[in-house]
Amino acid sequence: MKAVPGERERVLRNLRRRRIAVVGLGVSNRALLRFLLARGARSVAAGDVKTASALGPVARELASMPVDLRLGPGYLDILKDAELVFLTPGMRKDLPEIAAARERGAEISSEMGLLLSLTRARTVGVTGSAGKTTTTSLVRDMLVRSGLRVVVGGNIGTPLIEQALDFGPETTMVLEMSSFQLQLVDRSPHIAAVLNIAPNHLDVHRDFDEYVAAKKVIYRYQRPGDWAVFSADDPLTLAMAREKGTDVALFGRSEPAEVPGVGEVPYRAFIDGDRLAVRGPGGRGPETLCLVRDVRLRGEHNLLNILAAALLTLLAGGRLDAAGHVAVTFEGVEHRLEPVVTVGGVTLVNDSIATSPDRTAAALASFPGPLHLIAGGYDKKLPFDTLAESVVGSGKVAKVVLLGQTAGKIRRALEVAAGGAEERLPAIVETAGLEEAVRESLEDARPGTTVLFSPACASFDMFTNFEERGRAFKEIARRLAGKEAGTRAGAGPTRRPGS
């Protein structure tokens, strides 16, 4: 849904006239502040729980802006007189101070909500518990290959709010949308996708139902003629398709059947033996998108990401041949099943993006054995039983190296999954930090082993974010691999006496 005639002007007038509070001063809200000031907002307060010293150079940038700045304890005092409140993603609207502001009549919004209310671009939104960035990046490349003008934003790349007024209908805006962003908006993109749903972020969301409700926002406010793409393999996303009812497209491991409660489904994408196939407008086809063997991305979950991206591309006016070209040339995104280094026949892989057990289970399914898994981190209050069953049941994980807050929790889940049968358990080692974990994972790793860093947890107990964690893993892996290679070279070839 994009801005209707006259609505954009009303929104811009409100920015100039109302007392505004911006809560949380991360990257997107700092861009929002710059936009508000550039558009003539006269009364702007900004606050963050972090102190000036904790914010570092960012605090100096903020101090140079003509805003009422409150940092550290008491930062929510800026809400007392606010008429329009912009919250940072992940901040709960039911905090007492925010609830009180709403009761006084304040409007609660966000940078993403403002972007959607102002843009005249065609919007494509991607959400799900896993695969958002990969799918968003695939759609971007497929549409660019189709000759369309494309910008990417949301939970990926640079905030787009400062350019919100520059994009016209000739631009396609592809947005990666997290549950945190979605729970703060009351608009939906023209074309939306829900890739999958699994428990996540339960340290922030009240419960799983609240998390699912946030995901539904991506299609809840769509108008007739707006499309939504859903996985046909996931009961939760199929229920969403029934809720949407019309203008639905489906993808899955096999050709999606008709869904009771859903109208005609002309657009379908699926794995068809050795090819990825797509039915297009009017249900024609299926046509070949590409051959499975030509896809460079590893894992069945990435085949499904490609299928979803192809449907989004067609619905946004892209070409099937362009989508097929990208499907077989796209090499992936950093921190997602990223090969780092191979030494002595042992390959170390960075999957730091795996911040939930389901992502790690998908990563494990993408490799043959033997595997040494490095897992653990910040506790998001997620269960590890299904992951533990995957580890124990696969028989290909020889060793699990644990670290972080959840180390003990994961160990217990593995022991339960083994049902008391010690012989079913991989070797389990708990470590104090990432470097020790990488060292331990290389111990006893024979040629052909994959050391998979796929934590199944967030990074916040040791790192700022998963990107920082992934970069740290890569630096350690390359350094230790270099030492290992040097040791092997220094030893020289083994020689028999007299030879």
Residues 105-133 have pLDDT tens digits of 999 999 999 999 999 999 999 999 999 99
Residue 498 counted as domain residue: no
Residue 175, beta-bridge partner list? 125, 153
| Percentage, residues of the chain above pLDDT 70 | 94
Judge residue 436's burial from the number of C-beta atoms within 10 Å of its C-beta, 0-12 exposed, 13-18 middle, 19 or more buried.
middle
Pair (187, 73) in one structural domain: no
Q: Are β-strands 248-252 and 268-272 bridged in parallel, bridged antiparallel, or unpaired?
A: parallel
**Whether residue 175 sits in one domain with residue 315:** yes
- Confidence check: pLDDT of 160 > 50: yes
> What single letter denotes the amino acid at residue 151?
V
Neighbours of 309 (CB within 10 A): 34
> In this structure, is residue 499 part of a structural domain?
no
pLDDT of residue 137: 97
Q: How far is CA 334 from the centre of its chain?
A: 12
Q: Which domain holds residue 50?
A: 7-108
Domain boundary at 329, 351, 382, which? 329
Report the CATH number at residue 376: 3.90.190.20
Burial 395-425 (b: 16+ CB within 10 A, else e): eebbbbbbbbbbbebbbebbbebbeeeeeeb
Residues 12 and 71 in one domain: yes
CATH at 89 = 3.40.50.720
In a domain, 95, yes or no: yes
Q: Rounded to an integer, what distance in angstroms lies between the CA atom of residue 339 and that of residue 269?
A: 29
Q: What is the pLDDT of residue 205?
A: 64
In a domain, residue 204? The reply is yes
Q: How confident is the model at residue 208 (pLDDT cuts 50, 70, 90)?
A: confident
pLDDT tens, position by position, 312-356: 999 999 999 999 999 999 999 999 999 999 999 999 999 999 999
Q: Are residues 100 and 159 in the same domain?
A: no
Residue 226 falls inside a structural domain: yes
* Mean pLDDT, all residues of the chain: 92
Cα 263 to Cα 247: distance, rounded to the nearest angstrom? 8
Question: At which of 55, 75, 108 does a domain end?
Answer: 108
Cα gap 229→200, rounded to integer Å? 21
The answer to whether residues 284 and 140 belong to one domain is yes
- pLDDT tens-place string over residues 126-150: 999 999 999 999 999 999 999 999 9
1-5, 274-278, 372-376: lowest mean pLDDT where?
Answer: 1-5
309 and 162 share one domain: yes
User: Sorting pLDDT into bands at 50, 70 and 90, what band is 483?
Assistant: confident
Q: What does the pLDDT read at residue 221?
A: 97
Residue 491 has pLDDT above 90, yes or no: no
Which tokens belong to 51?
């102190």
104: number of Cβ within 10 Å: 12
Count of structural domains, the chain: 3
Check whether 6 has a pLDDT greater than 90.
Answer: no
Residues 6+ apart with CB under 8 A from 129: 195, 196, 197, 198, 199, 200, 356, 358, 359
Q: What is the pLDDT of residue 261?
A: 86
Where is average pLDDT lowest: 88-102, 210-224, 300-314? 88-102
Instruction: Indicate whether 124 and 271 sit together in one domain.
Output: yes
Look at 69-83, 190-204, 228-242, 244-258 and tell me which has the smallest mean pLDDT. 190-204
Query: H helices within 276-406, ranges in order?
Result: 300-315, 320-329, 357-365, 385-394
Same domain, 276 and 405: no
| Domain shared by 120 and 104, yes or no | no
End-to-end Cα separation, the chain, in angstroms: 78
Higher pLDDT: 138 or 492? It is 138
How many CA atoms lie within 13 Å of 444's alpha carbon, on the beta-carbon side?
15
Report the pLDDT value the prediction gives residue 171, as an integer from 0 to 100: 98
One domain for residues 298 and 399: no
Band of pLDDT at residue 5, cut at 50, 70 and 90: low
Cα within 13 Å of Cα(471), Cβ side: 5
pLDDT reported for residue 494: 35
CA Rg, the chain, in Å? 24
The reply to whether 74 and 134 lie within a common domain is: no
Given 304, 329, 354, the domain boundary residue is 329
| 492 band by pLDDT with thresholds 50, 70 and 90 | very low
What pLDDT, on a 0 to 100 scale, did the predictor assign at position 199? 72
Cβ atoms within 10 Å, residue 473: 27
Residues 369 and 456 in one domain: yes
